Structures are given as structure tokens and as C-alpha cells.
Amino acid sequence: MKLLILLITLVGSLFMILGCEESENDIDVTEDLVLIGSAVDNGLTVDLYSDEVLKVGLNKLYFELTDASDEKITDAQITQKPIMHMETMNHSCPVAGPESTPNSDGLFESEVVFIMASGMMGTWDDTVFVENQEVNTSHTVVFENLTVLETDMKKNLVFVDADMNEVIYIVTLNGLDDPKVGLNDLVLTIHKKQTMMSFPEVANLSVSINPQMPDMGHGSEGNVDPVYTENGKYEGSVAFSMTGYWTIDFTISQGSEELGTVQYAVNF
Amino acid sequence: MQLISKYLIILILGGNLAAQTGIVAGQVIDRSTGLPLVGANIMVQDFNLGSATDLTGRYSMMLKEGTFQITCSVIGYAPATLGVNIATTSSSTLNFELEPVTIESKHFIHIQGEKTSGHMLGHLQQTNLSTTENLISMIEGVSLIARGSYAQEPTIRGMSGGRMNITINGMKSFGACTDRMDPITSYVEADALNSIEIGKGALSIQNGSTVGGSLNLTMKQPQYAPKNLSQWHIKGGFDAGSKERKFSFSWNKKTPGSGISLSGAYRKAKDYADASGHIISYTGFEKMNLNLGYKKRLNQESQLLLEFVSDDAYNVGYSALPMDVGYARLRMAGLSLKTRGISPHILNAEWKVYGNAIDHWMDDSKREVLFMDMHMDMPGFTRTAGSYVDLLLGRDQRSMLKLRSDYYWTSSYADMVMYPEGSSPMEMVTWPGVERWNMGQFMEYQSIIIPDMNVNLSMRYDLFHSRATNEMGQDELHIFYPGNNLERMDHLLSANAHVAYNIVDNWRSILSVASGQRIPTVSEAYGYYLYNPVDGYLYLGNPDLPVETSRQIEWQNNLTSSAGSMSLNLYFYKFEHYIFGQTMSEDAFSYANGWKKYIDGGSAQISGLEWSVLHRFSPHFIFQGGVNYEASSLDDFQDFLPLIPPLEVHGSLTYERRRFWVQMDTRGAAAQTNNSKVSGENSTPAFLAINLKGELDILPGLKLNLGINNLTNQLYHEHLDWGDIYRPGRSGFISLTLNNGIMGQ
């Protein structure tokens, strides 16, 4: 009996030691992210991260705020305005967030849909306004000259309504950077180009998906039509039954009215 | 047979001379192993006389002058009776070669030299150009599916593929073609065959659980001889129709303690022409086969057998398919240990371990008209390894228990790559690296209840584990079965019972009932868009398919007379969870009409009869013939089952003398209009084809074999032939066999 108690105690303490070790592991969440830039304004450091290198399409951005004593600030309001500076004009792009409360890692998340690549045509910067509600200070920082890579995942859908007004929808396809045979989750973003500076999300659309293999003349079974989730995002799945060259048509409708079809190509 | 007739003649000639004594002596051996049988009973019929064999399998007896019928029996073997004439103070030799126990649920055909014998097919003659499939199709109820002239697929009573179990010397092996272009029978050369054992439906479950039947091909084995002996033969043949050339050889070294056999064959054929002279493109092929066997006697009771089979086919055309086979390759090895007399109750024990690999490369590189200007490759690979242990237990002559424990593992992978011009290659995995293992337990009990009544009960339990291991293949199937772990565990239980009763002396009646189960094949459970040219649909596997089950009842009647025999079988099968392809989409594109998925097709039925007759008009003039008819239904679809042969008739007339034989045989079928519409089958018109062949011993050791196939030049195809491709028109063939007899041996 004594032996049993001893054994239980031993095993128990072993578990506790192991458990402690795990909780002591302090994982730096930003290690898995790409640092886009750092800016300091009046003692406040703003670090801008993204999941990967910025590119045309949907990008998830993370803001980390730290004060002069290197303490993380979690009570803050952040707004941002990405602007593309071109020779003759400037324009913005669809933006959502950052959220008013940080995520569990203390990072403020936002989503930006870049609609153009940086380069010869112009440069992107992102102006960020921070209200530090812990000490009630305001800050403005600018992340200049952001590198945004080109993709062919952004399409414009031009719809002429009954009043002969041209409505431009900006549609981007995301999630197919590394396509595989089988079901691939995808995110389609749909925003309306209201002005050069305003791109509100469009939430009440229905989207149907139609992948095709032109070399074979067939489509695929098992696709899931994207449905609206949030921030102009429509989430669904595309099924690739084999490798090769695929086209994917998304037909976008508002109620019974078809706004049009955008086509993407995937080759793997 | 010849031996019996020889002694029958002696028996008739023997007169009633004065009662003096003579000696009869001989040895009893196992025909399949050549080992002596210890303790065999030797009984003289109608006299209360008997003897038994000693440790070397020998016996001797004193008999009065006269003629006697002597029966030799030993547990585990079919008894044999031979006649002997005893003359005064003479000594006669009477050797028995006993066949290991033959269960009445199985049918055997034996291939000995150029003759094929077996239950009710006594005298169908084999020619040098016969293929394994030709031999199998001689059995009542067996039909062949042709996709070209090569590798025809056997069906038993309309059931094939996964409904059947095909083994080579008891070894499991699985074809590597997703389109079933390589049934296992195609990897065995007819020259190398010793016998074919057929079990219909679930009546024979020793080699695996099944619903449709089992087919075990046994190969010629090395043999012993009392003194060192070397035997050989070479054969060469030519068929004018397909320009097929065939060369084969065999060499056997026999010693008292060991035997080696080596045989090989090479065949090459061009496209054949049908009866209208039209060349059927893509029917040519080339093939090379090698068999090596080594047998060693370890002691009086045990022996070791090592066997190796290698088969390579190249450039095999499949006229009924859009593709051909670049190569199909089998490598197979087995090692077995057989022993008798471990203990008084264990009569026989065998342990075997084996492995084989099949690589199959299907492509369309030889085709001129390519599908949408692209080439495609469809390679497939299977690997199998297994082992079994057989035990034959018995206490006395009246009852016996046979046990088998078997185990095998197999893996199947296939994919398809298409190369569109100016675009990316397109690849899909069609067999997602399916790994399957099976553990089976089989037992069979045989008992003679009363002298004229035998009872035979057998049972089998199987545990199967299957899973898809290839990641890309898993992703593909997850499109249709999200969240499915693509793994399955199946428990199968099969059983059957036979009661055989001699109603009168020459009328034996056998009533059998059986219950069988089978798991879905790799294609049925995990196949991915496999094209079926019969209906033009792509087929998708279904990992959630239930186990298919069958119930079977069968009544066989055999009548024998001095002039021949006649048999009539009536049978009925009822299936549940019949696996069947259901149309999911009729969106046609390029080459396919849409796609289908394997589903639980509900209940199905097959019923039919097989009637056959053998009659000797004289000792030299023999008629043999038969009729098969089968009806089927797939209840939920209000349709017939696919691949069901129509009413078939066959017959042969043989005239044989000591140095030659001539045979005319005919095969015909009524029109099949009960075709499966859901499966896209057409109806097929009736036909009757006649072949003529003969053989002459020119010299001792030199034989000439020739004949004409499709004598009347009928333009026909059979119902089971894919793509309604016509069979060859009239063509003559000739072959020569030379053996060591020419050396005066």
C-alpha cells in the first residue's frame, strides 16, 4: 500500500513538473508573422505584422502597441488608411478594422484588400491613428513604401444597373496559393468601389462557383458555393479532381439579378 | 483412365482357371507430391481380404488366381479402384496414385500432357496454343469477358472481379489494372498448369470468403523418380489468323530425393481478322513466361517446395478500350513445407509463405487517334505477401477435419497522368495506396454418415482491415466523403453444407446450401473516377459500402453408366447489398457519359441450370456436351444483372486411337436480350462456332497438332465481350512437340 501511494505521488509530481514546464513556455506569437514595419510616435511603438508578405488580395494585418517602458498596450482604438500614391492620383482600398479589442496575444487584427501591386505605377503607404485609452494620448504613424506583390487574384466586376449607372465590384480570390487535389477552402472578397477612397463591403450577394478543366472539358463535383461571413468575405470550397490547369468562375447575384461572372485561373 | 481400361481388358480376358495363388504388390503415392502414403488400406472387393501399406508406402498380398477389383483408400485422399488379373505363381504390380481429398463442392480439371480431364469434361482436347483462359472456360458455368484477344477474364455463372477469388497454388495475388485488364489468370501459362480447381458461389471457401466462386490454379510441380531422370520437351506453334507464334519448353530433373522443373513460353501475336476479313486493330501482344520449381524430400514424410513464377507481357492491345498495355509484369515466389504423420491425428500439414508483385502500365502511346490530342499513362501496382497453415485431422476413415489459418497483406496503388499539349500535365490518384490485410480461419468437416451418404460442413471467418494511405488520394475522396477516415474493418462469416447421397447405385445427388460474404474491392471502396468502357461512365468508390452477402442453394445430380455420365445442376443465389454503380451525374464531357458511384444496390438474384452429358459410342468415339442457362434480376433497379451469359450450348465429338485423335467441338449461344440496361449493356445476337483439331504421334517423341478454329467463319461476338468486338474469323493452326522420347528414352 505504501508503495502504491509512493508510486502515485511520484507519477503525480512528474505530471506536475511536466505541466509546469509547458506553461512556462512563453511563445512569442509574432515569430510566425512577417514584420512589415515599426514606427515610433511620442513614446508609442507601433509594430505592423502580417501573415505573409503583402500581396494583391486579402491580407491580414496585426498591430502591436508598446509604450516607452516596453509594456504592451491593449486598451486602444486604431484606425488605418492605406493609400496608393500614383503619378496622377491617389486611391485607397477595402479595409476592415483593426478591431477595438486585441486578440488573445495582445495584437489588434485588421484586414486589408490590396487592389494593386506596388512598383512602377505607384507606392502604398498606410497611415495609422492610435488613441491610447490607457493614458489618453493620440498618435499618428505612417508605414511608407509598403511592398505589395502582384497576383492575378483581383478582378473588377462592372455591372450596369437599370439606371445605366456603372457599379464596380472589386472581387479577390484568396486561399489558393498552394492548391491541391481535393477540397480547397477559399475566401472571395467583394467590395463596391464607391469613391477612390471608399470601398464598402457588399454583404447581401449570392455567389455560385463553377470550376472547369478546359483541357478535359469537365468540371468537378463537391464544390461549396461561397457564402457571406464578415467584412466582405464569402467563404466556400473548390474541388479540384486532378492536377492541371483549372478555371474557376464565380457568378455573383443580388437577389434574382445576376451581376456578372468573374473568372480566375489556377495551374498546379 | 488408360490404366483402368488396360486392366479392364486383362480382366475380361482372364479366364476361370484353377484356384492357385499369385502375388500382387505395389506402392501408393500422393499424386500431387509424389510422397508414399503410409497406412493406406488395400481392400479386395467382394472378398474379405485386405492389406495396408508400410512406411515406404508399399504393400503386397497373396491372392488366388483370378480377376479382382482392388480398392485403395486412405484418409484425406479420394479412394481409387483398379482391376488386376492374377495368374498362378506370378507377381503383379499394382501402383496407386491417390488424389488429395476432393471436396464435392469443387470441380477439378487436370491438365496432363495435352489432355484435359475432369468432372464431366472428360475429353476436351487441349492444343498447344490453348491459353489458361481457354482451359478454364471448359468448365460448366464459366464464361470469359474479352477486351481484346489477350487476358480474357473468367466469370463463374456471371460473377467476376471482386465476387471471385483467384489464387495460384493457394497464393493470393491481385491484378494491378484499374480496368481489370489483368485478371490473375493472365499471368499463368497453360503449359505450366497442372490443374484448375473451381468452386461455384460460396460452395468452396477454403481460399477466401467469396460470393461468386473461387478459382485455384495449381502449377506443375517438380517430381521425384526412383532413379535420376531428365525429361524435356520443346514446342513450336503458329496460328495463321493472328500470326501468333508460340515457343515453349520444359525441363525436369527427377531424383529420388529432389526434383527441379523449369518451363517457359514465349508468345507473340499480331492483330487478328474477324470473319469478314476486317482486321481488329489493337489485338496483338507479346508475352514471356517462366516457371521454376524445386522440391526436396526432407525425410520420408516431409518435403520442401520452392516455386517461382515470372510473367512479362508487352505491348498488349485492348481493342475494346481506348488504351493498351505497355507492360504487365508478375513476379511471384512461394515456399512451402508439407509433412505427414506429425501425430496419429494430424494426417497432413502444410505451411506456406509467399509474396508477389504486379506492375501494370497502361498507356495510349501506340494509338493514332488520341483522346483530345493528349497522351495518358495509367500505371498500377500491387504488392501482396501472405502465409497459411493447413492441417488435416482425422481419427478414422469416416470423418475428417480440415483447418486453415491464413493471413495476407496487400497494397494497391494506381494513378493517371494526362499530357495535354501546351498545358500542364493532369494527374489523379485512382487507387489511393490502399493497404488491406486479412486474417482468415477456415474449417471443414467431412463425414460418411452411412455408406451412401456424405456430409460436408465448412465455415470461414475473416477479419479485414483496409485503409487509403496516399495523401493525394485521401484528399480526392474527401471531396465526396468529408471527414471520412477512409478506413474500414470488416468481419465476414461464410458457411456451407453439402449432403451427398447415392439414391441408387449410379445416381448421386448432392444438396448444398451456402452463405457467403465479400468486402468491396479496392475500386469499389476507394476507386477514383475509374472509366468503364461498357457504359462509358466514370466510377467513384464508396468507402461506406456494406459487405455484400449471398445465400445459395444448389442441387446436383450425377448419373453414371458404363457408357458415360450425365449431370444436372440447379442453383439459386440471393444477394443482399449487391454492389452496383448508380448514376450520379449525366453531365457528359469528352469521353465520359457522366459518373456513377458504387452503392448498396439492394437485393439481386441469379438462378440457373447446368446440364452436361458424356457418352461413349465406342471406346474410341466419344460425345460430350452441355447446356447452361441463367436468369438474373436486380430488384431495386427492375433490371437484369450485367455480364450474365445467355443460354449456352457446347459439344464435342472425339475420335481417338492410340497414335492420334480428332475432335470437332462447337460452342454456341442464344441471343441475350436480358441485358442490363442500367449498366449500358447491349443485347447480343446468337452464334454457333465450330472448331476442328487433331493430333498425331509421328514418331515416339514427335507430335503434330493442327486444326482450324471457327471452321464456318462465323462473324460473331459473345455477350460478355466488351465493345462488341468480333472474335477471330476462320484460322488454321499448327504446332509440333518434340520431347526426350525422340532420344529413345
Residue A18 has pLDDT above 60, yes or no: no
pLDDT of residue B119: 37
C-alpha cell, B307: 516455386
- Pick the more confident residue, B148 or A246: A246
Q: Which one-letter DSSP state was computed for residue B194?
A: E
pLDDT of residue B168: 92
pLDDT of residue B138: 76
* Percent residues over pLDDT 90 in chain B: 44
Q: What's the mean pLDDT in A59-77?
A: 86
Residues 398-427 of B with CB under 8 A from A: 416, 418, 420, 423-427
B593 vs A: CB within 8 A: no
Q: 10 Å Cβ neighbour count for B587?
A: 12
B589 vs A: CB within 8 A: yes
Substitution target from B479, B589, B595 for chain A, most A beta carbons within 10 A: B479
pLDDT of residue A1: 58
**A32-41, A181-190, B38-47, B433-442: lowest mean pLDDT where?**
B38-47
Q: What's the mean pLDDT in A3-8?
A: 65
Residues A172-222: tens digit of each pLDDT: 999 888 999 999 999 999 998 888 888 888 898 899 999 998 887 788 888
Residue that terminates a domain, selected from A146, A165, A195: A146
Yes or no: say if B142 and B155 are a contact pair by the CB < 8 Å rule: yes
- Pick the more confident residue, B520 or B585: B520
- Pick the more confident residue, B457 or B447: B457
Residue B671 has pLDDT above 70, yes or no: yes
A164 and A139 assigned to the same domain: no
Residue B606 has pLDDT above 50, yes or no: yes
Residue that terminates a domain, selected from B34, B63, B98: B98
User: Does residue B688 sit within a domain?
Assistant: yes
Q: What's the mean pLDDT in A232-260?
A: 90
Substitution target from A216, A237, A238, A245 for chain B, most B beta carbons within 10 A: A216
pLDDT of residue B75: 64
Q: Cis bond leading into B100, ω under 30°? A: no
Residue B353: give its domain's CATH number.
2.40.170.20
Q: What does the alpha-carbon distance between residue B196 and residue B126 come to, in Å, rounded to a whole number? A: 14
Backbone angles phi, psi at A238, to 5 degrees: -115, 140
A163 and A263 assigned to the same domain: yes
Q: What does the alpha-carbon distance between residue B672 and residue B724 come to, in Å, rounded to a whole number? A: 13
Substitution target from B370, B375, B421, B426 for chain A, most A beta carbons within 10 A: B426
A64 and A133 assigned to the same domain: yes
Contact A213 B426 (CB under 8 A): yes
User: Does residue B105 sit within a domain?
Assistant: no
A181 and A235 assigned to the same domain: yes
How far is B366 from chain A, CA to nearest CA, in Å? 21
A135 and A169 assigned to the same domain: no
A208 and A180 assigned to the same domain: yes
pTM of structure: 0.82
Give the count of domains, chain B.
Answer: 2
User: Does residue B184 sit within a domain?
Assistant: no
Contact A216 B475 (CB under 8 A): no
A182 vs B: CB within 8 A: yes
Residue of B nearest to A224 (CA): B479
Q: What is the pLDDT confidence band of residue B103, given thresholds at 50, 70 and 90?
A: very low
Q: Cis bond leading into A98, ω under 30°? A: yes
A160 and A222 assigned to the same domain: yes
pLDDT of residue B372: 58
A247 contact residues in B (CB cutoff 8 A): none
The highest-confidence range among B62-71, B420-429, B586-595, by mean pLDDT, is: B420-429
Residues B508-519: tens digit of each pLDDT: 888 999 999 999
Give the count of domains, chain A.
Answer: 2
A92 and A189 assigned to the same domain: no
Contact A244 B424 (CB under 8 A): yes
Interface A–B counts its CB contacts (< 8 A) at 74
* Percent residues over pLDDT 90 in chain A: 18
A116 vs B: CB within 8 A: no
Angle at B364 between CA B363 and CA B370, to 5 degrees: 150
Residues B267-310: tens digit of each pLDDT: 999 999 999 999 988 889 999 999 999 999 898 788 999 999 99
Residues A95-147: tens digit of each pLDDT: 888 877 888 888 889 999 998 888 888 888 888 888 888 788 888 888 888 88
Residue of A nearest to B596 (CA): A221
pLDDT of residue B528: 94
User: Does residue A84 sit within a domain?
Assistant: yes
H or E element, residue B480: helix B471-480
Q: What's the mean pLDDT in B184-200?
A: 85
Contact A180 B478 (CB under 8 A): no
User: Does residue A38 sit within a domain?
Assistant: yes
Residue B28: give its domain's CATH number.
2.60.40.1120
Residue B726 has pLDDT above 50, yes or no: yes
User: Does residue A123 sit within a domain?
Assistant: yes
Q: What does the alpha-carbon distance between residue B104 and residue B607 come to, in Å, rounded to a whole number? A: 20
Residue A28 has pLDDT above 80, yes or no: no
A172 and A139 assigned to the same domain: no
How far is A221 from chain B, CA to nearest CA, in Å? 8
How far is B314 from chain A, CA to nearest CA, in Å? 29
B217 and B77 assigned to the same domain: no
- Pick the more confident residue, A29 or B647: B647
User: Does residue A13 sit within a domain?
Assistant: no
A180 and A140 assigned to the same domain: no
Q: What is the pLDDT confidence band of residue B464, given thresholds at 50, 70 and 90?
A: very high
A244 vs B: CB within 8 A: yes
pLDDT of residue B368: 66
Average predicted confidence (pLDDT) for chain A: 84
Cα–Cα distances (Å) from B694 to A181, B666, B739, in that order, read 59, 14, 18
User: Does residue A11 sit within a domain?
Assistant: no
Least CB-CB distance to B427: which of A220, A242, A245? A242
**A84-88, A222-226, B519-523: lowest mean pLDDT where?**
A84-88
Yes or no: say if B511 and B525 are a contact pair by the CB < 8 Å rule: no
- Pick the more confident residue, B700 or B359: B359
Backbone angles phi, psi at A31, to 5 degrees: -60, -35
Residue A24 has pLDDT above 50, yes or no: no
Contact A215 B418 (CB under 8 A): yes
Domain of residue B445: give its range. Answer: 213-379+388-476+509-743
pLDDT of residue A141: 87
Residue that terminates a domain, selected from B55, B81, B98: B98
Least CB-CB distance to B476: which of A181, A213, A218? A181
A239 contact residues in B (CB cutoff 8 A): 479
Q: Is the dihedral of CA A178, A180, A185, A188 positive or negative?
A: positive
B483 vs A: CB within 8 A: no
User: Does residue A40 sit within a domain?
Assistant: yes
Average predicted confidence (pLDDT) for chain B: 85
pLDDT of residue B12: 33
In single-letter form, the type of residue at position B207 comes to N
Residue of A nearest to B428 (CA): A242
A159 and A131 assigned to the same domain: no
Contact A181 B475 (CB under 8 A): yes
Residue that terminates a domain, selected from A126, A146, A166: A146
In single-letter form, the type of residue at position B362 comes to M
Residue B407 has pLDDT above 90, yes or no: yes
In single-letter form, the type of residue at position B367 comes to R
B450 vs A: CB within 8 A: no
B595 contact residues in A (CB cutoff 8 A): 221
Residue in the structure block whose three cell numbers are 485492348: B318
Q: What does the alpha-carbon distance between residue B395 and residue B347 come to, in Å, rounded to a whole number? A: 9
Residue B462 has pLDDT above 90, yes or no: yes
Contact B479 A242 (CB under 8 A): no
User: Does residue B179 sit within a domain?
Assistant: no
How far is A177 from chain B, CA to nearest CA, in Å? 17
Contacts of A174 (CB under 8 A, 6+ apart): A57, A58, A153, A186, A187, A188, A189
User: Does residue B68 sit within a domain?
Assistant: yes
Contact A218 B428 (CB under 8 A): no
User: Does residue A250 sit within a domain?
Assistant: yes
Residue A130: give its domain's CATH number.
2.60.40
B428 vs A: CB within 8 A: yes
**A68-82, A241-255, B201-215, B474-488: lowest mean pLDDT where?**
A68-82
Q: What does the alpha-carbon distance between residue B580 and residue B597 come to, in Å, rounded to a whole number? A: 8
Residue A23 has pLDDT above 70, yes or no: no
Residue A230: give its domain's CATH number.
2.60.40.10
Residues B629-641: tens digit of each pLDDT: 999 999 988 999 9
- Pick the more confident residue, B111 or A262: A262
User: Does residue B188 sit within a domain?
Assistant: no
Domain of residue A164: give its range. Answer: 154-267
Contact B472 A215 (CB under 8 A): no
C-alpha cell, B281: 486493330
Residue that terminates a domain, selected from B98, B113, B131: B98
A119 vs B: CB within 8 A: no
A37 and A124 assigned to the same domain: yes
Residue B94 has pLDDT above 80, yes or no: yes
H or E element, residue B349: strand B346-363
Residue in the structure block whose three cell numbers are 497414335: B659
User: Does residue A134 sit within a domain?
Assistant: yes
